[in-house]
Structure 1
Amino acid sequence: MRPVPPTELASLTTLRLGGPARRLVEATTAEAVVEAIRTADDPVLVLGGGSNLVVDDAGWPGTVVHVATTGRRTERRPDGSVLLTVEAGEDWDAVVAATVADGLGGLECLSGIPGRTGATPVQNVGAYGVEIAELLVDVDLYDRRTGTVRAHVPAADLGLAYRTSTLKGRDDAVVLRVRLALPGGGDSAPIRYAELARTLGVQAGERVPAAVAREAVLELRRGKGMVLDAADHDTWSAGSFFTNPVVDEAAAPDSAPRWPAGERVKLPAAWLIQHAGFARGHAGPGGRVALSTKHVLALTHRGGGSAADLLVLAREVRDGVRATFGIDLAPEPVLVGCRL
């Protein structure tokens, strides 16, 4: 555990926005994470890769615990599947790349997603037809209420749903490590997402070598500015800013694409944003923030901006969709010290 001088949180977030932390602790072991949280005498913010946060310009008034734990291991199980155990501070895409390099499929559709592994169950990260919920076995948590580590908390107890879980928006349960079950072979998960299937030239439901699927996913994400690149301001974002809303069929615009969601339907937020009159590159205050030039669902920092600028743009988009369609968009990132 290493105390670090007060730091602008902008340097630790993919949006490159956010004010100072009063105190920053770099924790390189699970034990150090627990100790830093347990001994803090002020508000605590646990930070991983900073890829799904909007931090207020005022920063954080207490201690930021930066989770920098590393380590992963695989265990072949009697049924041929593989149990993958990963420390929370491991870079997520590096984990995916390593499994593919080891000839293990299952995670390849989640390639290119920025952030740390510990955040994946919190958000129930998903992309291109695969969600963490399908692969997660259990997690180890630090329970701040009891001051104890809870090992092997089953995935079924985490309330995993579309881009959420019972861990999201809480500060009393901190993920220390995750365990995932991989099929054990080198083929991808079934290709379910139509855009990915077209790119691969296969039918929905087919499998391809995991390495082939990974490269196709990375290609698609790069085309949308969703693979981090310091030179590309379209990647200075928190990824998709709004979740796809789930509404009653009667509330869905007639021409909008939709997918079944139980007794309701899920609508693409990007379609709603575009058809509410917001084009790619639509600028916010002073052009310091804007919708991505590649993908309207990402709100991006163009340089010299502030979290306040970004929130002005987010409100403009949210209110425009509400005025046009009567549908409320909910933010996907966690808002720290600020709100829409």
Structure 2
Amino acid sequence: MSKVGEAYVVTLASHIWDARVKLLAEDIGLRSEDIPVRAVAGLGSKYTYDRKVLSVLSSKRSMLHRMLRNIGVNLGGAFVVPADGYDGAKAKIQDVICEFEHELAKISSAVPTAYPAWRNEIPAQFRPDLTEGEIIQELSGCYLRVNAFHVMEVADREISRIAEKLVEEVAADAAEMLRSSFGRKPGRDEGTQRVLNPLRRLRDKVRSMSTLVDSVIWEPIVEAMDDLLAELPKAGPLDAAHMRRLYSFLIALSGVDSGRVQLALSKWGAEESEAISSGSGDGGFFRTSGSPAAEEEQTLQEEQTLAELANALGF
């Protein structure tokens, strides 16, 4: 049974002037007979104000987008957020909006001095032709707003979309963790708590979102995350065995749909339990000292394990 009444639909509305206009033929010293009319559109664009100054506004919008993504699921531009998650984040959201408005006011008031200084640094043929008044008018139209609507009824198919979308996001986040934590070094034999922080955040998000929908999709995912984090150290470094656990878990979690994720997690749990019970949990993908023959055998085991994981994920 769904718990839609405990959720908000949150939208992020904004307009930030990009200060960009089409580059004309005369801007680069060309005459109309030098370039076909159709080709003018391919010349690109130029800026009419310092984009570094305006990037401060864009960074505030990006910050809000990340905040909403961390507590909810993005469905075509709108975020579905649990009520308790949104209520807890409202103060921070309002702080970012206030920072945006403060920066916008500061940029607008600085135009009379900042614009001439920046304009004089631009080569003559690229110089913008806006007045200070026109720039201030453009800036006056910039805004950043967050609108939240309390959801009372959502069709079952919409709830299913939320569940499937979250699975996709979880898989994408797991793949990103693999890339950032291991890169091309799956045999990395040590790590710090920073390696686990993205997984902790993802676990909190999945657990929060799973309250919206009762689905068998979430049980193995949340349970596997909890089990893994319970087994790994809560402080201090991670050794080779810990990194092996994390690596193989992320491989399984990065499946692209719920069925493949569940299958891979199930296989991951069975293989890891067997490895631990047999006393072989410290080997796996990570090199141990030994004879060349032992290392060759370990390499074959690694390749077989990776092949089995790939098969479970459908690759």
Q: TM-score, normalised by structure 2?
A: 0.25
Indicate the structure with greater helix content.
2
Which has the bigger relative contact order, CA under 8 A and spacing at least 6? 2
Indicate the structure with greater strand content.
1
